[in-house]
Amino acid sequence: MCPAIAVNAPVGVMDSGVGGLSVLKHLTRQLPHEHFLYFADSAHAPYGNKSASEIRQRCFTIADRLIVQGAKALVVACNTATAAAIGAMREHYTLPIIGMEPAVKPAAAASNNGIIGVLATTGTLKSAQFAALLEHYGQGVQIVTQACVGLVECIEQGQLDTPQTLSLLQQYCQPLMAAGADTIVLGCTHYPFVRKYIQEIVGQNVILIDTGAAVAKRLQQILEQRQMLNAASETGDYVFLTSGTEETQRVMQQLWAFAR
Active-site annotation holder among 59, 154, 173, 188: 188
Angle between helix axes 21-30 and 212-225 (nearest 10 degrees) is 50
| Residue 68: CB atoms within 10 Å | 8
- Cα–Cα dist 144/72, whole Å: 38
Q: Is 47 marked as binding a ligand?
A: yes
Q: Is 15 marked as binding a ligand?
A: yes
Q: Is 16 marked as binding a ligand?
A: yes
**Which phi-psi region, left, alpha or beta, contains residue 70 (left: φ > 0; alpha: ψ -120 to 50)?**
left
Q: Is 22 marked as binding a ligand?
A: no
- Cα–Cα dist 239/49, whole Å: 28
Active-site annotation holder among 59, 78, 154, 173: 78
User: DSSP string covering 211-254, please?
Assistant: SHHHHHHHHHHHHHHTT-----SSPP-EEEEESS-HHHHHHHHH
78 is annotated as an active-site residue:
yes
Q: Is 145 marked as binding a ligand?
A: no
Amino acid at 229: L
* SS3 label, residue 36: strand
- Cα–Cα dist 77/18, whole Å: 10
* SS3 label, residue 81: helix
Nearest to 185 by CA among 100, 112, 118: 118
188 is annotated as an active-site residue:
yes
> Which of the residues are catalytic?
78, 188
Binding residues: 15-16, 47-48, 79-80, 189-190
Binding residues for substrate: 15-16, 47-48, 79-80, 189-190
